[in-house]
Structure 1
Amino acid sequence: MFRGGTVVTVEEGQPLAEAVAVGGGRILAVGSEAEIMALASPGTEIVELDGATVLPGFIDAHGHFMNAPQIVGWVNVSSPPVGPVTSIPEIVTTIRAFMDERRPASGEWVIGYGYDPTVLSDGRELTRDDLDPHFPDNPVMLIHVSGHGCVLNSAGFGIVGIDENTPTPEGGVILRKEGSNEPAGLVMETAFLPIFAHMPQPSQEQLLGVLGDAQEIYTSHGVTTAQEGATNKDDLEFLLRAADEGHLVIDVVSLPIVFDVPALLREYAPDFRGGPMELPDTAAQSFGRYRNRLKLAGIKLVLDGSPQGKTAFWSEPLLTGGPEGEEDYVGAPMVPPEMVTAAVAEFVDKGIQVFSHANGDAAIDMIIDALRAAGVTAADGRRDCVIHSQFVRPDQLAAYAELGMTPSFFTAHTFFWGDVHLENTGPERAAFISPMAAAYERGLRCSNHSDFSVTPMDPFLMMQSAMLRRSRSGVVLGPDQRVDALTALRSLTIDAAWQIFEDDTKGSIAPGKLADLVIVDRNPLDVDPEQLLALQVIETFKEGESVYRRPV
């Protein structure tokens, strides 16, 4: 029993309580301290909150769980407040310090994460020429903060096989040195996909060795359900092993990425018929159920790129041109619309939930059109999710309501790249980025996410960005799209649970639900939004068992 503080239930009928009783991994009762303590028996353990607050465990509505065990061995080249880098020389210094500590062998890959050219004081992209003099003996790959590209040095280009004779694929970007066809360093989108698919991977044993530390990234911030939001075949094999061997202490929701679905089905679905979009009639049986804390929720489509990387797909041109200086630039889809329509029709026919990565409004039109063509309506209750939904238009929110779709917003963009969006799209379009208030006004239920490791795993940062919508320079993007603290919290708990059909067991503190709980030192509903990042997680519980306790 938890008593002596505040219980934020997120339940509409009883949003606040004084105490909660837990047993057998579930919530038994919620109410006043007197009501709950009357249920105590001699063997009851009493947890004294000492004025702290109990919240439902946070749900990672979209992120990349498999990045967590990876980045333990990668170098952080992010900019503040995530990392130390503000210039190209500091990138070099940071990589050098990492190599001095880790001492990789000659020829061994050095991988960094968080590269963000938009905040570098140099005002330009990092190139291979910046890296080559300092790291001639090791291939270097710095993953773009969007997760949709990377910068390589010459040794890296040699290994991945990209040179002056390599054509830029449709929907991709290979920046070239001025006056030549030689790759300069940055590779994005469809040009990056083959590199990403064949990145050097640690062994399963190495990943298992750091999986505890990786999960602590989540539990130390009160997250009890994480998402692996673009799962390839190798990652799924690892997650299945980790689950079956009992290594998962939190729930992991996996979205197999559509590019790998045929390979996955050939191995895991004996009656796979072999066609490009033909799923077995029993395919839906593989989705929606936990197996030792691992669940396949639906299939992931990737329709466009990243807005800060200028590779999203818009209906109107950017004001600043394309990544290679193109005029009247609107980006491009990752796959043709007709392919999306065919894939969605198959997934709808087989009863599988669709999760679509779509940032630009033109990409969002593609998934709306595909679901309409498949005959989907809100009455079907499918809850197809558009991940990011950043530059969604008001008329598209109406279409979401008509089709029963749900957005997972990325409000942290207002801080990290709000100034970039203002420059690229202008104030009117930038003001409607991740329009959470408008979505709720339409009657939609929506979640908020970090896209970890694109931005930090920090639910209070997500809450703050939804409430303030303030850029690095202090500009407020769309003040009318700010939401209150309870709405911001719902998008990280009960509405995030609803989005993945788990609101009957998670997302709020109510009798019968799983005892996924987090104790924080103060009530986020009573804290000035400016102070949200100062809140501290004291302890996290998964199904009533403590999985993280703050060191004292």
Structure 2
Amino acid sequence: MERQLFINGEVITANGNDDIAEAVAVEDGKIIVVGSTSDILKLRKDGASVTDLAGRTLMPGIIESHIHTTMYGANVLSVSCKDPAVRTIDDLLERLKEQAGRVPEGQWVRAWGFNETSIEDRRFPTKEELDRVTDKHPVMVVRACGHISAVNSRALEIGGLDNDSPDPEGGSLGRTPKGELDGRLIETAHMDLYQLAAHTRDEIREAHRVASEHFAEYGITAIHDATGYGIENVEALREDAEGGVISQRVYAMVGALNKPDEVVKHYLSRDIRTGDGNERFKYGPVKVFLDGSSSGPTVWTTEPYTSDPENYGVHYLSQDELDELFIPAHEKGWQLTAHAQGDAAIDQLLNTIDKALALHPREDSRHRIEHAGLARKDQVDRMKQLGAVPTPNPAFFHEYGDGYVKNYGKRAEGMYPLASYRDAGVTATLTADCPVTDFNPFRGIHSAMTRRSPSGKVVGGAECIGLLEAIRCCTINAAYSGFSETETGSIEPGKFADLTILDRSLINADVEEIPEIRVDRTVIGGETVFERAKAVVQP
């Protein structure tokens, strides 16, 4: 691979000192020198390419530490409720009818990203409305949080659900005042049917291809996949990463949206550990769900919701059940993690981590907490004590912040507390949990700096962090959360040349410009995987 020189830029290294350099030299897929333009030009040799950055930012590739690759790609191929043209339920129904006209009879018609709080009707579509879309296809409209859906009668039949069906443990079936099913499926009820609506392998391969292309366009060079459809999905990620369908490096959590404990048990029975794999794909932590959605809202809390004094959310596993699953996994060498949004769920996971470390001491286990939405100050201190790594979602404020204030009251000001993590010395990442919200990393960086809701309200300004801190969260900190900080996450000699070139200076950009910043070029291991426009390359 030829030597590549990048000069005259704003090189955000994300190294231990947050140094800003001018230029970088790359050879054989790795960074060899970081320094001044004059120093780098001394390394020029026959056949080397020279890219004049002309003041633009060169930064480490973004590491998305919690993303649902398969779900996002599949969503792109279905109806998007986040399309600005979908303002009413009638708009959605029309799009679903168009989709039904293109889908073979009997196959699923899907929509994603629905949010009853932002659509004009302020409600879910009814079963009867979805029945009028088509009687030849099952229809599923998935809420933006991924924990709730609305379906038609054909879909209910496939799930074996009728008016006499009881609510499943950890979920519920929406009903009319007369007790009849209205088509809404909440938490476990949704997950159960979602599993039955699984995509074919060819559909998944195409979903991975599309998702990878979209991620590269936004400078994402590595993904920590948060799972979707079970064992087959984990192995499809491995096959497609190693086969080049997915260009990003993949660190795959081992679990599923539905019955994740069964997936975890399957992998515990095999001779596999966290970190096994290669440069393209590695197995990550074992993962389960402990509670629900922050925007649903269905998170498990120690105090009732401000919006509903009788509601404490939902939870999936008892403390004993989690201990029995995760302590052996820890002993066997796995990293542990769980979807834990509410403070009650966070307590439960921290209890298990504490017991696992006491019973089977292990240095540098880096057990994770996915989301850790309503983390209390005492829990932040406990994360530091146990070496736990949270993966917060400040980008959620941009889409769901007003709902947080309504549902959680004063507690919303301390959600996703990046400043508290920094002050306590807790290594935290920054993630969008796509497709729950926009995966644009610069939207996430902006939200970490502003914590602004859709109405413009700043939700907990004391937890805002600065630009370079936010960049570290989605680069070197994210690498740390996947044990890859010696290979990726910063621009330093010896590391993989996973790089992102922006269309301007990020440091000199106005804060309000940040979400609009575009990526000109994305490089993984020295190879360009996306280029918006030809850079200025000197012969």
TM bin, normalised by shorter chain, reads over 0.9
Q: 8 Å contact 1:218–1:226 — kept in the other structure?
A: no
Equivalent residue for 2:178? 179
Equivalent residue for 2:402? 419
> 2:163 is matched by which residue type in structure 1?
E
Q: What displacement does 1:249 show? A: 1.6
Alpha-carbon distance in 2 for matches of 1:265, 1:444:
30
Choose which of 454, 457, 460 in structure 1 pairs with 2:439.
457
Equivalent residue for 1:65? 69
1:384 equivalent to 2:367? Answer yes
Equivalent residue for 1:480? 462
Alpha-carbon distance in 1 for matches of 2:331, 2:445:
37
Alpha-carbon distance in 1 for matches of 2:467, 2:383:
24
The TM-score normalised by the length of structure 2 is 0.93
Equivalent residue for 1:471? 453
Q: 8 Å contact 2:500–2:523 — kept in the other structure?
A: yes
Alpha-carbon distance in 2 for matches of 1:126, 1:42:
64
Choose which of 242, 245, 248 in structure 2 pairs with 1:247.
245
The TM-score normalised by the length of structure 1 is 0.91
Alpha-carbon distance in 1 for matches of 2:450, 2:244:
40
Alpha-carbon distance in 2 for matches of 1:9, 1:193:
41
> 1:247 is matched by which residue type in structure 2?
V
Q: What displacement does 1:166 show? A: 1.0
Equivalent residue for 1:397? 380
Q: 8 Å contact 1:228–1:255 — kept in the other structure?
A: yes
| 2:66 alignment partner, SS class | coil
Considering only aligned residues, what root-mean-square deviation do their CA atoms show, in Å? 2.0
Alpha-carbon distance in 2 for matches of 1:511, 1:85:
48
1:330 equivalent to 2:315? Answer no
Equivalent residue for 1:295? 282
Alpha-carbon distance in 2 for matches of 1:224, 1:44:
23
Q: 8 Å contact 2:368–2:388 — kept in the other structure?
A: yes
What whole-Å deviation, never above 9, does each CA across 1:403-454 have from its counterpart, x for those lacking one?
Answer: 111110010111111111111111x101111010011100111001111111
| 2:111 alignment partner, SS class | strand
Q: What displacement does 1:298 show? A: 1.2
Equivalent residue for 1:208? 205
1:448 equivalent to 2:430? Answer yes
Query: Where do residues 266-415 of structure 1 align in structure 2 (5 Å cutoff)?
Result: 272=269, 282-284=271-273, 287-291=274-278, 293-321=280-308, 328-376=310-358, 380-415=363-398
Alpha-carbon distance in 2 for matches of 1:471, 1:378:
42
Change (3 A) 1:379 1:262: closer
Change (3 A) 1:435 1:292: closer
Q: What displacement does 1:245 show? A: 3.2
Q: What displacement does 1:388 show? A: 0.6
> 1:221 is matched by which residue type in structure 2?
Y
Q: What displacement does 1:71 show? A: 2.1
> 2:177 is matched by which residue type in structure 1?
E
Alpha-carbon distance in 1 for matches of 2:76, 2:448:
29
Q: 8 Å contact 2:340–2:346 — kept in the other structure?
A: yes
Change (3 A) 1:378 1:521: farther
| 1:21 alignment partner, SS class | strand
Q: 8 Å contact 1:9–1:17 — kept in the other structure?
A: yes
Alpha-carbon distance in 2 for matches of 1:319, 1:520:
42
> 1:465 is matched by which residue type in structure 2?
S
| 2:132 alignment partner, SS class | coil
> 1:11 is matched by which residue type in structure 2?
N
Alpha-carbon distance in 2 for matches of 1:341, 1:404:
18
Alpha-carbon distance in 1 for matches of 2:154, 2:379:
45
Alpha-carbon distance in 2 for matches of 1:508, 1:85:
40
Alpha-carbon distance in 1 for matches of 2:382, 2:279:
37
Alpha-carbon distance in 2 for matches of 1:69, 1:471:
27
> 1:218 is matched by which residue type in structure 2?
F
| 2:375 alignment partner, SS class | coil
| 1:506 alignment partner, SS class | coil
Q: 8 Å contact 2:223–2:250 — kept in the other structure?
A: yes
> 1:413 is matched by which residue type in structure 2?
F
Alpha-carbon distance in 2 for matches of 1:244, 1:509:
24
Equivalent residue for 1:324? none
> 2:122 is matched by which residue type in structure 1?
G
Identity %: 30
> 1:513 is matched by which residue type in structure 2?
K
Query: Where do residues 41-52 of structure 1 align in structure 2 (5 Å cutoff)?
Result: 41-52=45-56
What whole-Å deviation, never above 9, does each CA across 1:269-297 have from its counterpart, x for those lacking one?
Answer: 8xx3xxxxxxx6x542xx20333611111
> 2:75 is matched by which residue type in structure 1?
I
Greater alpha carbon shift after TM alignment, 159-168 vs 4-13: 4-13
Choose which of 21, 27, 31 in structure 1 pairs with 2:31.
27
Alpha-carbon distance in 1 for matches of 2:292, 2:212:
28
What whole-Å deviation, never above 9, does each CA across 1:461-518 have from its counterpart, x for those lacking one?
Answer: 0001101100001111001111110111111101111111111111110000000001
What whole-Å deviation, never above 9, does each CA across 1:96-127 have from its counterpart, x for those lacking one?
Answer: 34445xx2233321011101112122222322
Equivalent residue for 2:195? 197
Structure 2 unaligned runs (5+)?
535-539
- How many residues align? The count is 526
Alpha-carbon distance in 1 for matches of 2:51, 2:408:
51
Equivalent residue for 2:476? 494
> 1:290 is matched by which residue type in structure 2?
G
Q: What displacement does 1:135 show? A: 2.6
| 2:237 alignment partner, SS class | helix
Q: 8 Å contact 1:26–1:543 — kept in the other structure?
A: yes
Alpha-carbon distance in 2 for matches of 1:135, 1:216:
32
> 1:411 is matched by which residue type in structure 2?
P
Equivalent residue for 1:164? 163
What whole-Å deviation, never above 9, does each CA across 1:219-267 have from its counterpart, x for those lacking one?
Answer: 000000012212511112322332443433211111111745656765x
Q: 8 Å contact 1:447–1:499 — kept in the other structure?
A: yes
Change (3 A) 1:316 1:260: closer
Alpha-carbon distance in 2 for matches of 1:410, 1:133:
37
Equivalent residue for 1:75? 79
Equivalent residue for 1:125? 124
Q: 8 Å contact 1:65–1:227 — kept in the other structure?
A: no
Change (3 A) 1:378 1:402: farther
| 1:192 alignment partner, SS class | helix
